[in-house]
Chains A and B, each alone.
Chain A
């Protein structure tokens, strides 16, 4: 219910923002010279063609009706449908998102555990410094550095067009790995910090002391007793961090030149391709809301004390 209200709010916001933003989409359609020579009559005709001359509430209702019917509309420039765009580019962006999540856990969790069990040691200090660094570095900048370093040192550049996983896994891996690592390291830094602080809290608890007193090995104490109890906040933040991954992917895909959905969104914003922008933003919102709903549901599975009434 709340998710539906959130999505409705997002749809209204993005619809209004795109309509009130200054800028004329006809510049992108007609080009600079064409736009300069356009007569008012031409403008009226073209805007009507694009469906942009209807009253705003009607445009909004048409949009919702199309979504309900499973139609996401089409780019009003080239006529390509948004569904085709998502089907073609979505898998690449999804792979980047999932890989980024995997990288963030693979890097963040061990670093957090190490820091928590050796607090204020040299490795802890180093881990904390690195996590601050990766939080601070903008992903697009790191991405550009990686692209340039690979180019100038090894003459390497990832494939320049989309190659799907099922077409050529190796080529596909080369496309997605760069953005996934950049996004994953930034999220991993948050996870490392969060897991460190949660673990520090948990390892001071009585049940951990009891486990140690029973003579359990330290590894078992961590993996069986401390970690599961420290994970809940980390899982929560992972859901929130997905928002950063989705948002960050827009700039990082651009930096790596990966033709994913994020990049399509940037181009659509520049072109003022309203239909594409509003549908992609809504898609991102749906993903964010769904993942966070799943995170909420996972609490009950992870912690038997939590029950939803």
Chain B
């Protein structure tokens, strides 16, 4: 057999890649059971950290919340069973559970809880508190709505084995990445059983309920500042490092937050507007970071109200008619965004960005996509476009800017005419869930980055955020299969398959994916969120110190 040099190199290269590939870790959660947050050896103790984050919470029940207004201010007072390491924001490490075991069939999660942990009111922390916390999350009492409940849909019994050991028995196995991610979610803080019992399971109006976290409540001025002090009895000895936290409530992306940071009235600002962030980046002694957030900005097409929008070809045409790079540019001074498709573009299982940008609808040159879009409209019988679409726009600068741009793109590329109707957020969700729109633009969040979560919440047949009322039998079957598939490589293939279906039959039209801009003065040490995913899991400030 003859073998030329080029063929030889190709084949050895391929074989090498195969060997190397087989040795690469499978995608999944980075887990380190032996790792607990430890103070930086160079860390100094003391001082006050002034932190600006979001407007004030509308209530105090972290479990019932879905906004950083709660978790940003309250998280330092609580712990979770597991947590994401503040070093990278990704690796799952022990927290109140110092270790855990998963049965071989994946249907039993056993957590071994730390001993000697005390709540801020002096009570001992035991497995009963974990059981009460999770019973409430898994099966909320009447009038209590917890967005994370679906993550634990397969949790059957929660059994206290002894005061420091608890078992979660699943009715059906779920991927480890998914379950551990759910237990490590920053939202699932552990609260006292007694607190829940005394308040009939509803903590919306209970401002200062005891946690086990590194900081304790001192005082709160509504819509101004929440002050917390170091918990001297914190189980993780040596932490936290700062004596006092002052958490200022300021609207995200606002001039108010930006000016407070730039004038030195805050040490650390989260959710800065792009202009202040860029200004901060240029300032000496300031570090600025951008990181990914679990929010998709999109618009929905009402398939039940509008016959034309029920046609997948029309929705794909609308999807292809979007010049996404321009849409990101349109809001660049208002909020940081990035181009993405139907799954988080930075998720390891989604189509890599380079490949995505080769697809129609994501290219910088939109001519081929628009050509295809026009062909699809013609084929669907709407070659002359559509008239009088009711386009409901959520009141926010980004959506108002986008709505005008999208309206123009639809008109120019597909001869679709729409009338903009700007409404407050409370009305937007009323209109969206009531089906009173043709097009509706807003943003939605997923609880986990794991595609199983968003495939069910955003695209599921009865998904709570499936505002288009979209159904697609092959996709729903696939999503079901993905929920149960324990092999990460097989799951990845299913995700890609799902993406292909969504591209052809879009349940929503992705506009962009949000990013977060943080900045801090260099005296704040111990935290760099550049690799974090979202702002909900690593918000405790226990390892942060002031230089």
B329 contacts the other chain (CB 8 A) = no
Q: Which of A34, A144, A147, A267 has the most CB of B within 10 A?
A: A34
CA distance A75 to B207 in the complex (A): 13
> A42 touching B143 by the CB < 8 A rule?
yes
Q: A34-B66, A36-B465, A157-B263 are in contact. Are A78 and B142 (CB under 8 A)?
A: no
- Determine if A157 and B259 form an interchain contact, defined as CB atoms under 8 angstroms apart: yes
Q: Check B464 against A33 for contact (C-beta < 8 Å).
A: yes
Chain B residues with CB below 8 A from A259, complex form: 223-224
Which of B265, B426, B431, B457 lies in contact with A157, CB distance below 8 A? Answer: B265
User: B64 an interface residue at 8 Å Cβ cutoff?
Assistant: yes
Contact A27 B265 (CB under 8 A): no
Partner of A23, one of B56, B224, B265, B424: B424
What is the minimal beta-carbon distance from B403 to any residue of chain A, in angstroms?
Answer: 18
Which residues in A have their C-beta under 8 angstroms from that of B57? 78
A28 partner, pick from B58, B145, B150, B259, beta carbons under 8 A: B58
B222–A80 touching, CB < 8 Å: yes
Q: B residues 221-244 with Cβ under 8 Å of A?
A: 221-225
Beta-carbon contact of A27 and B425 below 8 Å? yes
Q: B66 near A24 (CB under 8 angstroms)?
A: no
A42 vs B93: C-alpha distance when bound (angstroms): 35
- CB distance B464 to A161 under 8 Å? no
List residues of chain B with CB within 8 A of the CB of A30.
64, 66, 145
Q: Is A14 positioned at the interface, with any CB of B under 8 Å from its CB?
A: no
Is residue B368 within 8 Å, beta carbon to beta carbon, of the partner chain? no
Q: Say if the beta carbon of A46 comes within 8 Å of chain B.
A: yes
Chain A residue with Cβ nearest B465 = A36
- Bound CA span A117–B58, Å: 56
**Does B204 reach chain A (CB closer than 8 Å)?**
yes
Size class of B's contact patch?
35 or more
Q: Is A162 within 8 A of B59, CB to CB?
A: no
**A23 near B464: Cβ-Cβ < 8 Å:** no
Report Cα–Cα, A30/B430, bound state, in Å.
13
Judging by beta carbons under 8 Å apart, are A24 and B142 in contact? Answer: no
- Report Cα–Cα, A144/B59, bound state, in Å: 30
Task: Tell me, in angstroms, the Cα distance from A270 to B423 when the chains sit together.
Answer: 11
Contacts of A160 in B (CB 8 A): 224, 248, 250, 256, 260, 265-266
Main secondary structure of the interface of B (DSSP, over half): loop
A151 vs B262: C-alpha distance when bound (angstroms): 8
Q: Which residues of B contact A29 (CB under 8 A)?
A: 58-59, 204
Q: Are A37 and B430 in contact (CB under 8 A)?
A: no
Contact B59 A78 (CB under 8 A): yes
Query: What bracket does the count of chain A residues touching chain B fall in?
Result: 35 or more
Contact of A296 with B by CB under 8 A = no
Q: Is A41 an interface residue (CB 8 A)?
A: yes
A287 to chain B, nearest CB (A): 21
The A-contacting residues of B in range 101-153, CB under 8 angstroms, are: 142-147, 149-150
A241-279 near B? 1/0 per residue, CB < 8 Å: 000000000000000010100011001001111000000
Contact A37 B150 (CB under 8 A): yes
Residues of B within 8 A of A42 (CB): 142-145
Q: Which of B264-311 contact A (CB under 8 A)?
A: 264-266
Q: Which residue of A lies closest to B464 (CB)?
A: A36
B65 close to A31 (CB less than 8 A): yes
B465 contacts A78, C-beta separation under 8 Å: no
Contacts of A225 in B (CB 8 A): none
| A24 CA / B431 CA spacing, docked (Å) | 10
Given A88-B221, A155-B263, A33 contacting B447 (CB threshold 8 A): yes
Distance between Cα atoms of A23 and B395 in the complex (Å): 12
Would A32 and B259 count as touching, CB distance under 8 A? no
Find B424's partner among A36, A46, A161, A270 (CB 8 Å cutoff).
A270
Instruction: Please give 16 more A-B residue pairs, beta carbons under 8 A apart, in addition to A28-B58, A160-B260.
Output: A22-B423, A23-B424, A24-B427, A27-B426, A28-B425, A31-B64, A34-B146, A36-B464, A37-B149, A77-B59, A78-B56, A155-B264, A156-B263, A160-B224, A257-B250, A257-B256
Interface residues of B (CB under 8 A from A): 55-60, 64-67, 142-147, 149-150, 204-205, 207, 221-225, 248, 250, 255-256, 259-260, 262-266, 423-427, 429-431, 433, 444-445, 447, 457, 464-465
Pick the 4 closest A-B CB pairs, nearest first. A31-B66, A45-B143, A36-B464, A23-B426
Can you show 7 pairs from A to B with CB atoms below 8 A apart? A22-B430, A27-B429, A32-B66, A32-B444, A33-B457, A46-B143, A271-B58
